[in-house]
Structure 1
Amino acid sequence: MILEIDVGNTFLKWRLRAGTRVVGSGRHASAAVDELPLMQFQSVDAVLVGSVAGESVNETLRQTLERYGLPSPWFAATAGTACGVTNSYAKPETMGVDRWLAMLAAWRRLGVGCCVVDSGSAITIDLLDDQGVHQGGFILPGMRLLQKALLGNTARVFLNSEEAIEQLRPANNTSDAVAQGAGFILEGVAMRLDTLLGSGLPLLITGGDGPAFRRLMGRGQLVPELVMDGLQLAYVERTG
């Protein structure tokens, strides 16, 4: 069995695969490595990790896995080319591995030019042409990051993306006004992207706020595990 782990800035997601069949999955706070149900993973043959959380979290994850007798994890890295995709960055290693893995999975799934949106703590938008060449992208803060940037941790409750687009209206207190403003920005991003793409370019959407972004766009295919799909592809290509 294969254990795949996607470590983001906010959440750590995992899934357990037996061949092509997913037999378990979960989500935890990104730093809560000890919350992984590691005793369930004793029959794992390999551990694959895609992480943007930094070396400290990665090392904690590595030590925790090895302490429970699991295989030493394989960490994915952004490359110049892989799985038919060509990176546009002069220094490929400076691109976030989550963006890279999502593009690998998108290309394998579609095999044509497309747009890939990962709507999470940050919103990343990347474009591939019909040869699998990255045409560049956009990075902007997501819902929760926008709210935290203005309010820190002082807000009583952060409004989530679904609430924001359902309840979009002027607010009469600072906390709610910031939350509504974040929703306003998310809606504006979706409208501008829709204009940029036109009607013909396929759109794949992933990330925790993916459902809300898909709703605002009114089109596109929602693929919740796109990054982990790319992780699997990168591992197979690298290890043969």
Structure 2
Amino acid sequence: MLLVIDVGNTNIVFGVYEGKKLLYDWRIATVRDRTSDEYGILIKEMFSYQGLKTEDVENIIISSVVPPLMYTLPNMSIKYFNIDPIVVGPGIKTGIDIKYDNPKEVGADRIVNAVAGYEKYGGPLIIVDFGTAITFDAISEQGDYLGGIITPGIKISSEALFLRTAKLPKVEIAKPDRVIGKNTVNSIQSGLVYGYIGLTDHIIEKMIEEMSKGNKKVEVIATGGFSSLITSESKYINKIDKLLTLEGLRIIYERNK
């Protein structure tokens, strides 16, 4: 079995593959000061709950955008699985050409998404990842990573509004019944949800203008925790693939084993 680990700023997602088949996946909160022992015991408990054995794991691959955990999780892999994991970063074969000014600046999660997105959907392709930050990534028809856009995520904006205003409350991030709010909570929810729908579609529209050549259709897909909420009324996003990053990790492992 292959254990894939995607470390984000808000959540860590684990997946177990048997060949190309994803058997199980789990999502836990990212805790930067949690030790390798704590993560190791937590994973063993998740395995036990599903009737899996840690000794059946033959390989591990990790992608992380949280520097403190770049030591913790590989150390956990060695101690609890006796496996030196593949860590996505410089020197790893991805199969895509990164056209960024400085390729090392591109987050590992964005590269992993690009690998999986192009493998599954071809190009030209736009991937929108609704995580702690919202990232928009452009992949060419040939599979090159062209670059993208980064904006604060909807949860960041919600928390900033609560922290930086004296009277506005913290609200649940949910789509209200109507755009024009009749109370403060609905007004904030409407501003967040419909505001991000508008932001998302406008950025995608401008990206398509730059990417489409000879009327070639640009595929647009979404992933990440808030993808269902924001894409519900998007004019451009036609598919949600919440396990895209896990699939990308599996593909990159296959290219490096």
- TM-score, length basis structure 1: 0.84
Q: 1:146 aligns with which of 157, 160, 164?
A: 157
User: CA-to-partner distance for each residue in 1:25-76, whole Å, 9 max, x for gaps?
Assistant: 110001266373325223211111111111x222222333333244132211
In structure 2, what is the equivalent of residue 44 of structure 1?
A: 57
What CA distance in whole angstroms lies between the structure 1 residues aligned with 2:244 and 2:108? 12
Residue 63 of structure 1 aligns to which amino acid in structure 2?
Answer: N
Whether 1:211 aligns to 2:228 is yes
Q: What is the deviation of 1:195? A: 3.1
- 1:14/1:27 contact within 8 Å kept: yes
What CA distance in whole angstroms lies between the structure 2 residues aligned with 1:103 and 1:42? 31
In structure 1, what is the equivalent of residue 200 of structure 2?
A: 190
Q: What is the deviation of 1:184? A: 3.2
Which residues of structure 2 form unaligned runs of 5+? 48-53, 210-214
What CA distance in whole angstroms lies between the structure 2 residues aligned with 1:231 and 1:53? 17
Higher radius of gyration, 1 or 2: 2
Q: What is the deviation of 1:171? A: 6.3
- 2:93/2:255 contact within 8 Å kept: no
In structure 1, what is the equivalent of residue 30 of structure 2?
A: 30
What CA distance in whole angstroms lies between the structure 2 residues aligned with 1:188 and 1:79? 38
- TM-score, length basis structure 2: 0.79
Among all aligned residue pairs of Structure 1 and Structure 2, give the percentage whose two residues are the same amino acid. Answer: 23
What CA distance in whole angstroms lies between the structure 1 residues aligned with 2:145 and 2:180? 37
In structure 2, what is the equivalent of residue 2 of structure 1?
A: 2
What CA distance in whole angstroms lies between the structure 2 residues aligned with 1:58 and 1:235? 17
- Structure 1's 79 and 103: CA in aligned 2 closer, same or farther, altered over 3 A? farther
Whether 1:112 aligns to 2:123 is yes
User: CA-to-partner distance for each residue in 1:129-178, whole Å, 9 max, x for gaps?
Assistant: 21222332110011111112232499875423xx13655443644x7655
CA RMSD of aligned residues (A): 2.8
Whether 1:66 aligns to 2:78 is yes
- Structure 1's 157 and 26: CA in aligned 2 closer, same or farther, altered over 3 A? farther
User: CA-to-partner distance for each residue in 1:2-30, whole Å, 9 max, x for gaps?
Assistant: 00011100000011111122222110001
What CA distance in whole angstroms lies between the structure 2 residues aligned with 1:65 and 1:237? 20
**Greater alpha carbon shift after TM alignment, 220-229 vs 144-153:** 144-153
Residue 10 of structure 1 aligns to which amino acid in structure 2?
Answer: T
Q: 1:76 aligns with which of 77, 88, 91?
A: 88
- Structure 1's 176 and 170: CA in aligned 2 closer, same or farther, altered over 3 A? closer
Which residues of structure 1 form unaligned runs of 5+? none
Whether 1:93 aligns to 2:104 is yes
- 2:162/2:170 contact within 8 Å kept: no
Residue 59 of structure 1 aligns to which amino acid in structure 2?
Answer: Y
Alignment of 1:9-28 (within 5 A): 9-28=9-28
- Structure 1's 165 and 139: CA in aligned 2 closer, same or farther, altered over 3 A? farther
- Structure 1's 211 and 59: CA in aligned 2 closer, same or farther, altered over 3 A? same
In structure 2, what is the equivalent of residue 229 of structure 1?
A: 247
Q: 1:220 aligns with which of 235, 238, 247?
A: 238
How many residue pairs are counted as aligned between the two chains? 234
In structure 1, what is the equivalent of residue 218 of structure 2?
A: 201
